[in-house]
Chains A and B, each alone.
Chain A
Amino acid sequence: MRECLSIHIGQAGIQIGDACWELYCLEHGIQPNGVVLDSQQDQLENAKMEHTNASFDTFFCETRAGKHVPRALFVDLEPTVIDGIRTGQHRSLFHPEQLLSGKEDAANNYARGRYSVGSEVIDLVLERTRKLAEQCGGLQGFLIFRSFGGGTGSGFTSLLMERLTGEYSRKTKLEFSVYPAPRISTAVVEPYNSVLTTHSTTEHTDCTFMVDNEAVYDICHRKLSVECPSHASINRLVVQVVSSITASLRFEGPLNVDLIEFQTNLVPYPRIHFPMTAFAPIVSADKAYHEQFSVSDITTACFEFSNQLVKCDPRLGKYMACCLLYRGDVIPKEVNAAIAATKSRHSVQFVDWCPTGFKVGINNRPPTVMPGGDLAKVHRSICMLSNTTAIVEAWARLDHKFDLMYAKRAFLHWYLREGMEEAEFLEAREDLAALERDYEEVVQSF
């Protein structure tokens, strides 16, 4: 019951997915071939197994042979990235039907992803989704992983989301989206793709967790001593956050136990569904055990700018909702003390119309790290999800870049050539402008 289906779209979605399932397997004790680690026979092990078995089900499907197959679908319009998974370490974890690839890619073009190339693959994807959904006793909803800037991530996702709403209207859809960053991007047209996809997907998503590549890049560079962070380092950090967010879904936890709760706790208006994420502590593996991070240390840290996954200044905005999820060796007494001691709490401003403040939960499963990664293993971690109006900064930046290019109609012919019209651009831009205004309205007091 309460199963969650993950759909990974495009290069970003797939590479994050690869790292993500690797981490989930480590956390649940599943080996790369899908079999659960059956180490010691003593009572404690069995007790542990019982504890975790119940939660396997949400993300993994157990076959008769005892294999645990992830409830996931990987989709891309060209085969290279998916071939990486087909030949990678976890190839025996997934069923071949879960890895879908087309022949011709979307070439960083929303129009190709959505209209021309995407439309050829959509039916197959929906069929596979149906199959996976049928295996579920009570499907809660979908977790979509994708980037805003790529062709498949933007275009194909919009198409898919529309069709999913049509077929599964009452299921929640949560997104993990990669917001484009100039330092690691390869395409100039990312602002176009981002605006277009946000316009078409907003009404179909219930909650979108944005990850700004630039913010994560900086974290890797400064805190983890990685000289030139590659996608691999960035993804390893991103999946730690994803793991924290989905921890309550996978293990017994108090807060955000199902997808609907995310909505209830974090989303006051349907369009205002972009929470900001912050994570602490972030320690380099070379400095393991050099410093200890207590509950109060990590609580203070997650209010810091440098620990945020999206670059914006929450002090300039107001909070509408916030969740603090602790993980690992955390005592309730310490949490209360830590929160009381956090100095930043005075600079936190809530909107007037919101009755509740922070929700705090503890999940006592310790955080895991991938061996050979950049992060050190820590005893406890915290993930803060906050719906703050300050995130409108991220949209403003994107819109500005869009305007610069669109004013000159630069690169537009790539889209028009695939059958799109300028009107769609204008509509999308208008929608984003309206989104910015919505955020402003929310802040105003009556």
Chain B
Amino acid sequence: MSDTLTADVIGRRVEVNGEHATVRFAGVVPPVAGPWFGVEWDNPERGKHDGSHEGTVYFKCRHPTGGSFIRPNKVNFGTDFLTAIKNRYVLEDGPEEDRKEQIVTIGNKPVETIGFDSIMKQQSQLSKLQEVSLRNCAVSCAGEKGGVAEACPNIRKVDLSKNLLSSWDEVIHIADQLRHLEVLNVSENKLKFPSGSVLTGTLSALKVLVLNQTGITWAEAHAQCGGSHGLDMQKDASKFVDLCVLQKCSTSNCIISAKDHTSMRMNVAKVLRCVAGCPGLEELYLESNNIFISERPTDVLQTVKLLDLSSNQLIDENQLYLIAHLPRLEQLILSDTGISSLHFPDAGIGCKTSMFPSLKYLVVNDNQISQWSFFNELEKLPSLRALSCLRNPLTKEDKEAETARLLIIASIGRLKTLNKCEILPEERRRAELDYRKAFGNEWKQAGGHKDPEKNRLSEEFLTAHPRYQFLCLKYGAPEDWELKTQQPLMLKNQLLTLKIKYPHQLDQKVLEKQLPGSMTIQKVKGLLSRLLKVPVSDLLLSYESPKKPGREIELENDLKSLQFYSVENGDCLLVRW
């Protein structure tokens, strides 16, 4: 909380009563005397104005109520990393600690804490700390050079989310001193990424980098994960970033300010720059950053196994081509990105694409997928074994959910897990048989035939159902009887249209009658008796079917029905007496 109104205060991240903001102005605001800081709040509704006061514009805000003027003594610039660690983990003796007096109760009984003293002692041994969480601890800088390395060199995982770090440089200053750092989470910090300065700092052990909600752009992350190329678009000097350790980077919460919009394309390069310094990076989380992928990572991200791009609404399928050749990418999370389709134009029907060669698990929950062709495209991925596709327009209807599941399973042949449920061989068999039956009629109409010589399927059908031929090979072509569509159960559909012939009476006309299949022979005789004026006991009935010409079947049991004798539509009843 210094009163110095030096220029380096501008851009710093501060905290005022729990709310975070960025300093945009430092100086005097007449007519009120004394120094003021002009801040732009993270929360756009927290402020009173947009940086102007009584006509004069002191600074600019994105939002009309995004800014305020605050007295310097109310503003907290944060503390350094080491102090923050000590504040959190070190047992402090002294009269300020009133923990002994504070007895908490739950439901009118006291809460007994057991072993807290020994825990506090253990945690105080900073040099033994391996996993450190400093979320929301107002950390703004690394502090004294080498201080961190000396005090807590064994830190492997650090959570620095929601702090006051204002630039990637500061992050590097901290991370640099931690030789064993494997997981770094700097989400929810509005970081400024360097645009041209050489970053020295190697995060060689880093495996996981979490950058959710930091406002980072693609090129920046790209650079942090290890590469000095890919900056051509920006015409920036190539940065040699030596961050090898960063394995897990988490940059979240990127907010693109009005300024940034104009240079949005430029900013996208920043992700790549950050990642440039992490040669061993395995997991990169970039949720909620409004990222759009603008360039292909050539030297960087080559070791990345997991890439989380959820909640970045600007991503679309064309951008995915730019990351399609990452050799080790096994898991790709694209939830809530508004994606509706995917295409792999380099592969034809039934072929495998060369894109995403190692992709095993794809997550596309909460998107706009509404076409079945999406899954046909996924079939082209050579390594895909697991898919999560929940809450999309195609799969939303509850009653359709089961059918949707079966269709997805049948469309993607080598899928082993769908929506986190293993696909057992039995389920796969059921799904594939159902698929084959469901589209059997379409197949026939498109020229399908069980004789391979006569099988000439239309282009259209093959595109819509690329696996159909394969299913026919596996289970056999669908039989006609399988494809009979079920007529609705109305009476008129159950009536048999029969011809009635009288072999001994050649002059009698052939009648045509519609009789229900459940009618017993006795009743048929009764009907005919009334028609022909012949007593029932004299009648002898049999029938013949055009399917089996020449063969006559006797209908001798009066109590059985026409159905029992398999009398079908179009058959001919023969009446003799």
Binding site for B on A (CB under 8 A): 44, 47, 224-230, 232-233, 253-255, 286-290, 292, 294, 319, 322, 328-329, 331-333, 335-336, 339-340, 342, 345-350, 354-362, 364, 366, 374, 379-380
Contact = CB atoms under 8 A, between A and B. Distances in A.
A233 B335 CA distance: 21
B5 interface: no
Given A289-B287, A290-B212, A364-B123, 14 more contacts: A227-B390, A254-B119, A287-B335, A292-B187, A328-B131, A329-B133, A336-B104, A356-B110, A357-B105, A358-B112, A361-B113, A361-B115, A364-B119, A379-B131
Given A233-B420, A359-B114, A227 B405 contact: yes
B109 A356 contact: yes
Interface string B154-192: 100001011000000000000000000000010100000
Nearest to A374: B420
B141 interface: no
A290 B110 CA distance: 35
A360 B421 CA distance: 37
Given A225-B390, A336-B102, A350 B109 contact: yes
A289 B187 contact: yes
Given A294-B135, A359-B114, A379 B107 contact: no
Contacts of A290: 212, 252, 287-288, 310-311
8 contacts: A44-B128, A229-B421, A254-B114, A292-B187, A346-B107, A358-B106, A358-B109, A358-B112
Contact of B99 (A336, A342, A350, A364): A336
B422 A362 contact: no
A348 B122 CA distance: 32
A354 B112 CA distance: 14
Given A288-B285, A332-B116, A379-B159, A224 B420 contact: yes
Given A226-B421, A230-B421, A359-B114, A286 B363 contact: yes
Interface in B126-144: 128, 131-133, 135-136
B41 interface: no
B483 to A, nearest CB: 30
A357 B187 contact: no
Given A292-B135, A329-B132, A362-B119, A226 B420 contact: yes
Among the interface residues A232, A254, A329, A358, which one has the most CB atoms of the partner chain B within 10 A? A329
Contacts of B333: 286
A255 B420 contact: no
B106 A227 contact: no
A413 B109 CA distance: 51
Contact of B419 (A226, A358, A379): A226
B422 A379 contact: no
Given A226-B420, A342-B106, A335 B131 contact: no
Given A225-B365, A359-B114, A379-B131, A289 B210 contact: yes
Given A227-B405, A345-B107, A358-B112, A332 B120 contact: yes
Contact of A362 (B105, B115, B388, B421): B115
B89 interface: yes
Interface string B414-427: 00001111100000
Given A225-B365, A357-B110, A331 B419 contact: no
Contact of B185 (A289, A349, A361): A289
Among the interface residues B104, B122, B365, B405, which one has the most CB atoms of the partner chain A within 10 A? B104
Nearest to A344: B106
Contacts of B217: none
Contact of B131 (A233, A255, A292, A329): A329
Contacts of A230: 421-422
B89 A331 contact: yes
B376 interface: no
Contacts of B421: 226-230, 233
Interface of B: 88-89, 99, 102, 104-116, 118-120, 122-123, 128, 131-133, 135-136, 154, 159, 161-162, 185, 187, 210, 212, 250, 252, 285, 287-288, 308, 310-311, 333, 335, 363, 365, 388, 390, 401, 405, 418-422
A360 B133 contact: no
Contacts, number: 146
A328 B106 CA distance: 23
A217 B159 CA distance: 32
Nearest to A360: B113
Contacts of B390: 225, 227
A226 B118 CA distance: 40
Contact of B104 (A339, A374, A380): A339
A233 B422 CA distance: 10
A379 B122 CA distance: 17
Among the interface residues A288, A289, A364, which one has the most CB atoms of the partner chain B within 10 A? A289
Contacts of B113: 332, 335-336, 359-361
Q: Which 9 residue pairs of A and B lie closest in terms of their CB atoms, listed nearest first?
A: A254-B115, A357-B109, A348-B107, A227-B419, A226-B420, A345-B106, A332-B116, A254-B114, A329-B133
A55 B321 CA distance: 51
Nearest to B185: A289
A358 B111 contact: yes
Contact of B112 (A228, A333, A359): A359
Given A227-B405, A289-B212, A359-B114, A331 B107 contact: no
A238 to B, nearest CB: 16
Nearest to A290: B287
B246 to A, nearest CB: 14
A44 B180 CA distance: 11
Given A227-B420, A332-B120, A359-B112, A379 B133 contact: yes
A332 B109 contact: no
Contacts of A286: 310, 333, 335, 363, 365, 388
Nearest to A366: B131
A354 B106 CA distance: 13
Nearest to B99: A336
A289 B161 CA distance: 10
Contacts of A289: 185, 187, 210, 212, 250, 252, 285, 287, 308
A290 B119 CA distance: 29
Contacts of A356: 109-110, 112
A290 B188 CA distance: 10
A335 B102 CA distance: 12
Contact of A255 (B114, B123, B132, B285): B114
A114 B448 CA distance: 60
Nearest to A285: B420
Given A336-B113, A362-B115, A47 B88 contact: no
Contacts of A319: 107
Nearest to A380: B133
A273 B131 CA distance: 36
B195 to A, nearest CB: 26
Contacts of A287: 310, 335
A225 B419 contact: yes
A254 B115 CA distance: 5
B333 to A, nearest CB: 6
A357 B119 contact: no
Contacts of B405: 227
Among the interface residues B187, B363, B420, B422, which one has the most CB atoms of the partner chain A within 10 A? B420
A354 to B, nearest CB: 7
B111 A357 contact: yes
A230 B115 CA distance: 39
